Structure formats: structure tokens, C-alpha cells
């Protein structure tokens, strides 16, 4: 007779202790991997930021090759760009506006063109408003924010544009030199809709805002940078060498002010004339956005800086990009902002 043997089945399962151990191991792995993932993302953002600076530097060089001067700094913070007034000192818009036509943004640059360079027309005002409200991706550092438009809350309207609801922001600033300025000029006010002669108002511009005195250009000594108000900076005037002189770089913005309009260095947009929003100075070294500054509020709005932990990126006048450490030698950094000091500097001190 065949015997049937019944075997008992033992059902295995995780105990509570084993489950907690597995969870703990997963937690440790995540903790170990997360910094590496974050570092990889930041490295990618920093590379993208460097690429944007490179594009802007090459656009400036292309403009110089065509017009025989670098992008001008514009007139003042109440002026938007005017495509009918070209690229020279008669252009009220700043360096961002000037390089638009050389960064595959010619259609945006053309907005507001009415064929009348001397009169502010409704067509110009409406087109300029549309341009002011446009975000340009290469003008923003991805470590801070995307290319979006942000509320425009400044109490003053533009002289040559309808008031925008929002404006495209920027994270970079042109190099105005090693001599810093805090109080700047809104630009000469138009009379009856007629564009003024900005050169006639040169004495109204803030200290270190306009170029050194040259026959027929200005009547006073001032800034030593590459991007200055009323300036047509020629290649020959950068006697320190284009690889030894900054053209632009990342500007300092307090970490909590990226999306607000409360801070004076981040309260407008990229399309404006000479102002702290679009130009900075190298008198003081760069600072990380989240750092506690041992300088005055007036000085803070003049400096370069970055959201990158490794340092602030700057583009030279030859289109090359360098990273400046937050503990860089202050004297070396200041000299790199001057176009013609005649003193040799080394990148190893940056």
C-alpha cells in the first residue's frame, strides 16, 4: 500500500527588523548618491552658463568686426533699444540690445522699428514694449532661473516704450571697469517726443559711467571699462589685450531676490541703457549669491557674483571664458576690468 507523506510548507517572510535594515541601507545609498546627482546637475548648468557667456562674447566680437567697436552701454535706465538708431553712441539701448542681431535674435532686435530715428512714435513704443517683455534664454543662468518674464514694478516708465507688465530678466553684466559707480543716470528726457542729444548731457552721467576723454566724444575723464555709457570702445583701445580684459560676467544677486523686483540690481530687465541691472564693476571681487557681504548696500549693487559654488564665470574680450574664484586676488580681478592699465596679470590669481 502506497503511503502519502504530507510535507508541511513553511512560508518565509521578512521580519520587521530585516525590513528596517533594508530601508536603512536604501536611505544610506540615497544619501550617498544625492550629492553626486546634484553635483552632476550643477556641472551641467555651469557648462550651459559658460556656453551662454561664450555666445555673448563671440556676438560682441562679430559686432566689433562689422562696426569697428564693441557693443555700447546705452544712455540710461529709462531707455529701451531703438533699431533705427544703429549700434553706436546714438543708440539709447544697452549692450544686450546691441548683440541681439548677432545672436540669431534679429527679429527681436527689429521690434519697434519705424524708420524714424529721431522721433518716438506709437509704433516704436508698442514694439519696444513687446521686446521688453521677451525672455532670451542665453541671458539667464540656469543655476538661478529659467528664461521667463518677471513683473515690472519700477515706478519710472521708459522714455521710448510703453510700460511693460513683465520684463525679461538677465543674469550677466557688462564690464564697466575697475572704478565703481553707484548713482547712475536715467538718461536725457525727450522733449515733445523728439530724441535728445545724449552727448550734450554727458556731464549728467554718473562718475565712471562714460569713457575717458577723447576729442569729439566726451568732455570729462571717467570709466576705464569696455561697456560704458555713450561709448564706442574700439579694439585698439583695449591696450591690455583682449585675453586680459573682461567683456562681461555673471552679476551678483542676493539669493532670495531672483524672482522679486525688490533689489535695485534686479528690478528691471535686459533691454535698457547703462544701469546696475546690466553693467557691473571689478573694483571689488565677486561674491557667491548666498554669502554674507562685508560691504555696503551701495557697493553690493556694483559687484559680480554667481549661484555656482565653484566661482563666478567671466568672458574676456576675445571670447574666452574663465572662472574666477570667490577668494581670487582682489588686485588681479580689479586689473582685469581695466582695458588699459598696462599691468600684467595672471589667470593663476583668479
Instruction: Judge whether residue 25 has pLDDT over 70.
Output: yes
Q: Is the dihedral of CA 55, 59, 60, 65 positive or negative?
A: positive
Host domain of residue 269: 38-337
Residue-level pLDDT at 6: 52
For residue 336, the model assigns a pLDDT of 97
pLDDT, mean over the chain: 91
Bridge-based pairing state of the strands 172-175 and 166-168: unpaired
pLDDT for residue 344:
77
> Which residues are paired to 126 by β-bridges?
none
Alpha helices (runs of H) in the chain, residue ranges in sequence order? 16-67, 95-100, 106-110, 122-132, 297-300, 330-337
Q: Are strands 166-168 and 149-151 parallel, antiparallel or unpaired?
A: antiparallel
For residue 49, being part of any structural domain is answered with yes
Confidence band, pLDDT 50/70/90 cuts, at residue 285: very high
What is the per-residue pLDDT for 1?
46
pLDDT (tens digit per residue) in 126-185: 999 999 999 999 999 999 998 889 999 999 999 999 999 999 999 999 999 999 888 899
What CA–CA distance (Å, rounded) separates 74 from 176? 12
With CA atoms as reference, report the closest residue to 91 among 78, 100, 82: 82
Q: Which of 65-74, 102-111, 217-226 has the lowest mean pLDDT?
A: 217-226
- pLDDT at residue 182, as a whole number: 85
| 345 within domain boundaries | no
Provide φ and ψ at 106, rounded to 5°. -65, -35
Range scoring the smallest mean pLDDT among 18-32, 105-119, 299-313: 18-32
Query: What would the mean pLDDT of 64-91 be, rounded to a whole number?
Result: 97
Pairing assessment for the beta strands 279-280 and 246-250 based on DSSP bridges: unpaired
Is position 11 within any domain? no
pLDDT value for 203: 85
Q: What is the pLDDT of residue 228?
A: 96
Nearest to 93 by CA among 193, 4, 177, 174: 174
Q: Is residue 4 part of a domain?
A: no
The tally of domains found in the chain comes to 1
Average pLDDT over residues 72-89: 97
SS3 128: helix
In a domain, 350, yes or no: no
pLDDT computed for residue 26 by the predictor = 85
pLDDT at residue 325 tops 60: yes
pLDDT for residue 215: 55
Under 8 Å between Cβ of 258 and 145? yes
Give percent of the chain above pLDDT 70.
92
* CA separation for the pair 120, 124 (Å, rounded): 6
Does residue 2 lie within any of the structural domains?
Answer: no
Distance CA 131, CA 122 (A): 14
Residue 29, domain member (yes or no):
no
Residue 20 placed within a domain: no
pLDDT for residue 19:
81
Residue 229, C-beta contacts closer than 8 angstroms, at least 6 positions apart: 73, 74, 75, 76, 185, 205, 209, 210, 273, 274
pLDDT (average), residues 246-274: 95
Inform me whether the pLDDT recorded for 11 exceeds 60: no
Rounded to 5°, angle at Cα 55 from 170 and 96:
40
Amino acid at each position: 500500500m502506497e503511503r502519502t507523506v504530507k510535507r508541511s510548507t513553511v512560508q518565509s517572510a521578512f521580519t520587521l527588523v530585516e525590513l528596517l535594515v533594508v530601508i536603512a541601507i536604501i536611505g544610506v545609498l540615497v544619501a550617498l548618491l544625492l550629492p553626486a546627482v546634484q553635483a552632476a546637475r550643477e556641472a551641467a548648468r555651469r557648462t550651459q552658463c559658460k556656453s551662454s557667456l561664450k555666445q555673448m562674447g563671440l556676438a560682441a566680437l562679430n559686432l566689433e568686426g562689422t562696426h569697428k567697436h564693441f557693443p555700447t552701454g546705452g544712455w540710461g535706465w529709462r531707455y529701451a533699444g531703438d533699431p533705427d538708431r544703429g549700434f553706436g553712441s546714438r543708440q539709447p539701448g544697452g549692450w544686450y540690445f546691441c548683440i541681439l542681431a548677432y545672436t540669431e535674435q534679429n527679429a527681436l532686435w527689429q521690434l519697434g522699428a519705424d524708420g524714424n530715428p529721431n522721433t518716438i512714435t506709437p509704433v516704436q513704443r508698442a514694439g519696444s514694449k513687446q521686446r521688453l517683455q521677451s525672455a532670451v534664454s542665453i541671458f539667464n543662468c540656469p543655476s538661478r532661473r529659467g528664461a521667463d518674464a518677471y513683473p515690472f514694478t519700477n515706478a519710472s516708465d521708459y522714455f521710448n516704450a510703453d510700460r511693460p507688465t513683465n520684463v525679461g530678466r538677465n543674469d550677466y553684466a557688462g564690464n564697466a571697469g575697475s572704478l565703481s559707480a553707484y548713482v547712475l543716470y536715467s538718461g536725457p528726457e525727450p522733449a515733445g517726443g523728439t530724441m535728445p542729444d545724449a552727448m550734450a548731457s554727458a556731464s549728467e552721467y554718473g562718475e565712471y559711467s562714460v569713457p575717458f576723454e577723447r576729442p569729439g566724444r566726451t568732455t570729462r575723464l571717467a570709466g576705464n571699462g569696455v561697456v560704458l555709457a555713450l561709448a564706442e570702445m574700439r579694439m585698439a583701445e583695449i591696450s591690455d589685450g583682449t585675453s586680459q580684459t573682461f567683456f562681461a560676467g555673471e552679476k551678483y544677486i542676493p539669493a532670495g531676490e531672483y524672482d522679486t523686483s525688490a533689489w535695485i540690481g534686479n528690478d528691471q530687465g535686459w533691454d535698457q541703457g547703462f544701469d546696475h541691472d546690466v553693467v557691473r564693476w571689478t573694483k571689488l571681487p565677486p561674491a557667491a549669491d548666498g554669502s554674507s557681504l562685508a560691504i555696503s548696500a551701495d557697493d553690493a549693487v556694483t559687484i559680480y557674483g554667481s549661484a555656482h559654488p565653484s566661482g563666478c564665470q567671466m568672458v574676456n574680450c576675445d571670447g574666452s571664458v574663465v572662472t574666477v574664484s570667490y577668494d581670487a586676488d582682489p588686485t588681479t580681478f580689479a586689473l582685469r576690468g581695466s582695458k588699459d592699465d598696462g599691468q600684467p596679470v595672471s589667470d593663476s590669481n583668479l
